[in-house]
Amino acid sequence: MDLKKSLLVLLAIALGALAFASTNGEQVYQKHCSSCHQPTGKGIAGAFPPLVEVVPEYLEKGDLGRKFLIHVVLYGIQGEITAGGGTYNSMMPPYGNQLSDEEVAAVLNYIAKAWGNDKLLPKDFKDFTPEEVKAERGKKLTPVQVYEEWKKLVK
Ligand code: HEC
């Protein structure tokens, strides 16, 4: 193999490793969330609430909204909610045991910005970080306790 070819091979390996190391929020979403909330983020009326336009609304509420979103993914949610004009009374299972802090942060950043949500975010929005997710893990909330947070948030 000549030098140029070897360098190209090395470059390909390095890029592959980089892609593997950086957690991709879209991939986490497709694998763990899209079956219910749909690839479009629009959900299914009456069964699964939309995330389009809804996630920025929670982020408008500042720190409480941010924590609520982390808690939904870590601990699930159960109770009657309204979202995007529809009513849902169901349960989302917890994902804290299946997803790492990096994956939770990545998927939250994805749903915060996908489908045009990026245009609706508050100006001071900062990306979710794995450290921020880690800090919420010790709380061990139930899906019903996360629902109590939702009620406080929307009133
Ligand atoms: C098995 C179906 C299912 C999966 C998979 C699922 N969810 Fe949910 N999700 C729901 C349901 C149902 C609710 C509403 C629960 C209720 O009625 O209290 C919900 C609520 C939410 C909410 C609050 C929503 C709102 O519209 O007000 C967010 C945010 C959310 N899910 C994000 C996610 C993310 C991110 C993932 C992937 C890590 C995910 N969900 C995976 C079913 C699911």
Q: What is the mean pLDDT of each run of 10 residues along the chain (155 residues)?
A: 82 68 89 98 97 98 97 98 96 98 98 98 97 96 98 92
The pLDDT, as a whole number, for residue 19 is 57
CA–CA distances in Å: residue 59 to residues 39, 111, 119 = 21, 11, 13
| Separation between Cα atoms, residue 122 and residue 119, nearest integer Å | 9
Would you state the pLDDT for residue 23? 85
Query: What atom in ligand 1 is closest to the CA of residue 29?
Result: 37
CB distance 88 to ligand 1 below 6 Å: yes
Atom of ligand 1 nearest to the CA of 47: 12
Q: How far apart are CA 4 and CA 42, in angstroms?
A: 48
Name which residue sits closest to atom 7 of ligand 1, judged by CA.
Answer: 92
- The protein residue whose alpha carbon is closest to atom 32 in ligand 1 is 73
Cβ of 78 closer than 6 Å to ligand 1, yes or no, is yes
59 lines ligand 1 (CB under 6 A): no
Residue 129 CA to ligand 1 center (angstroms) comes to 20
Query: What is the pLDDT, as a whole number, of residue 11?
Result: 79
Using a 6 Å cutoff on CB, does residue 36 contact ligand 1?
A: yes
Q: Whole-angstrom Cα distance, residue 7 to residue 25? A: 30
- 131 C-alpha to center of ligand 1: Å? 22
For ligand 1, say whether the CB of 70 is within 6 Å of any of its atoms. Answer: no
Taking residue 131's Cβ as centre, other Cβ atoms within 10 Å add up to 9
- pLDDT at residue 21, rounded to an integer: 57
